[in-house]
Structure 1
Amino acid sequence: MEFRLHPEVIHSAASQGARLEVVEYDPRPTERPLEGFHQPLTRPARWRQLALHLEGGLAVLEPGALQYLRGEIEMQASSSGGTGGGGLGGFLRGAVSAAASGESLFKTVYRGAGVIYTEPTRLHLLLGELHGEDLIVDDGAFVACAGQVTVGRHVNQGLAAMLGSGEGRVQPKLSGSGVFALQSPVHPDEFQILDLRNETLKVDGNLVVAYSGGLAFSVEKSSRGLLGSGRTGEGFVQVYRGTGRVWLAPTLPIHSPPVSLAGAS
């Protein structure tokens, strides 16, 4: 049986001069089932796409996320998302500079009025808001942001420092006020947004997709695996201390192996 994908906006979030919408494509049969017969249907997977509506505002997308755009919108490569100018010429110069220096092109800034559409994905899209704060995002989870938000880099020493390595893990850091979109195999309804108030949170596994920049993060040995942690690298927990928010996905192991939030569901 053939199916047709029907688009429907299932989530939205707005900021000054910008609005994010999650469009979900629901597969529906093109023919009505035969009367008097039992027809088991195996529906194709649902796909999702992010639509960013700009009204003279600014948006930042992860490189490769763009599918197409409509309107008077300029693009620019930026090493500090949310700043600078130069339009398409600036974008090309930034790409050449990145290639010459060996530095990856980290983000692309869009300015103007129109609509930007990202590549469809089977992952879920999680929308959130920032109110003059910082947010550290898990590598591979960032999709886009809009409003007065800059995208920088946060060097997370974490496990590297624990094991004596000199290099830390680089993660996206969102700063300012506006809206953002993250991707995950976990449905948004399954996330727990924990408000820590001068508290300590310990997580066994890569279940945190984002956390407030004001929280102190470290990787510590768990009491149950001190011997194993010294030999195999197991027995560590991620620790968050202070006041702030944590986006936790406790059902992640059900949807995919707990290796990376960038995996497809």
Structure 2
Amino acid sequence: MDFTWTGSTERELSAQGHKLEVIEYSAAPMEAPLSGYHQSLSRPRRWRQLAVHVGGGQAVLEPGALQYLRGELEMQAVSASGGGGGLGGFLRGAVTAAATGEGMYKTAYRGSGTLFTEPTRLHLLLGELRGESLIVDDGAFVACVGDLQVGRHVNQGFAQAVGSGEGRVQPKLTGSGIFALQSPVPPEEFQVLELRGETLKVDGNLVVAYTDGLEFKVERSARGLLGSGKTGEGFVQAYRGTGRVWLSPTLPIHQG
């Protein structure tokens, strides 16, 4: 059966004259059902696309995320290490990438207009930062707009736990603005936990992002003595202090 796809705004978030809009595409059959016959219908899964409305500032997208743009927007390669754009910044980014294994650069767009990302079946999670930093899980970053810098964070937690000298490189957003992350989990199922001098321990890769005011460590769990943790190595992720954690407890359901 053939379908036609219709887009509608699923959710949006605005700040500082910029806006992020999630467009969801749902399928409807092109042919009407036959009268008098029961027609079982299995529709394709929905697709989602992010529209980034830039109001005279800067947006940063994950490389390869852009589908098309409208307006007066200039594109510039930005070094993953936080350096400037242009050829010099691009080459410095290449050296950093070679040393860390990180993606070579992000793509910045400056001016006024709208950016549209490639459609995805993943869900898009919108959030806002107000003069703080956010450490993002690998592969979760999609875009940000506003007074935000996209750099890198070398997470030594797991390396220290297993005795390795190499840390895990993750995206780090710093400043004020709005951002979009992607996940198999719908935004309604996320829990944004506010920690106030507390400890959170998580068994499994359920955290998509956390503010860097939190101390992060990887520790052996009690079950780890028997090697029965969900991580396969009996480790838990521990977050201590004051800050926010984006937690997806239903992730195993969506991956099953």
- TM-score under structure 1 length normalisation: 0.88
Residue 198 (structure 2) aligns with: 199
Q: Which runs of 4+ in 1 moved over 4 A?
A: 80-85, 92-102
Do the aligned partners of 1:134 and 1:176 also contact (CA within 8 Å) in 2?
A: yes
Do the aligned partners of 1:17 and 1:58 also contact (CA within 8 Å) in 2?
A: no
SS of aligned partner of 1:43: coil
Do the aligned partners of 1:4 and 1:29 also contact (CA within 8 Å) in 2?
A: yes
Alpha-carbon distance, 1:135 to partner: 0.6
- CA deviations 1:149-193 (Å, max 9, x no partner) are 111101001111111111100000111111000000001111011
Letter in 1 for 2:53: H
Alpha-carbon distance, 1:256 to partner: 1.3
Alpha-carbon distance, 1:99 to partner: 5.0
SS of aligned partner of 1:225: helix
Do the aligned partners of 2:145 and 2:177 also contact (CA within 8 Å) in 1?
A: yes
Do the aligned partners of 2:206 and 2:251 also contact (CA within 8 Å) in 1?
A: yes
Aligned equivalents of 1:35 and 1:80: distance in 2?
A: 59
Residue 211 (structure 1) aligns with: 210
Instruction: Say if 2:5 is the partner of 1:11.
Output: no
Residue 59 (structure 1) aligns with: 59
Q: Calculate the aligned-residue CA RMSD, in Å.
A: 2.0
Letter in 2 for 1:181: A
Letter in 2 for 1:252: L
Q: CA 1:83–1:129 in structure 2 vs 1: closer, same or farther (change >3 Å)?
A: farther
Do the aligned partners of 1:59 and 1:82 also contact (CA within 8 Å) in 2?
A: no
Structure 1: stretches of 5+ with no match in the other structure: 258-265
Do the aligned partners of 2:194 and 2:243 also contact (CA within 8 Å) in 1?
A: yes
Matches within 5 A, 1:60-139: 60-79=60-79, 84=84, 90=86, 94-95=89-90, 98=93, 103=98, 104-139=103-138
Alpha-carbon distance, 1:35 to partner: 2.0
Q: CA 1:166–1:130 in structure 2 vs 1: closer, same or farther (change >3 Å)?
A: same
Alpha-carbon distance, 1:31 to partner: 2.1
- CA deviations 1:199-254 (Å, max 9, x no partner) are 0000000000000110000000111222438xx96111000000111000011111
SS of aligned partner of 1:146: strand
SS of aligned partner of 1:34: coil
Residue 47 (structure 2) aligns with: 47
SS of aligned partner of 1:253: helix
Percent identity between the aligned chains?
68
- TM-score under structure 2 length normalisation: 0.91
Matched residues, number:
250
Aligned equivalents of 1:99 and 1:167: distance in 2?
A: 19
Letter in 2 for 1:27: A
Matches within 5 A, 1:119-198: 119-198=118-197
SS of aligned partner of 1:64: coil
Residue 27 (structure 2) aligns with: 27
Instruction: Say if 2:227 is the partner of 1:224.
Output: no
Aligned equivalents of 1:122 and 1:29: distance in 2?
A: 19
Aligned equivalents of 1:13 and 1:46: distance in 2?
A: 21
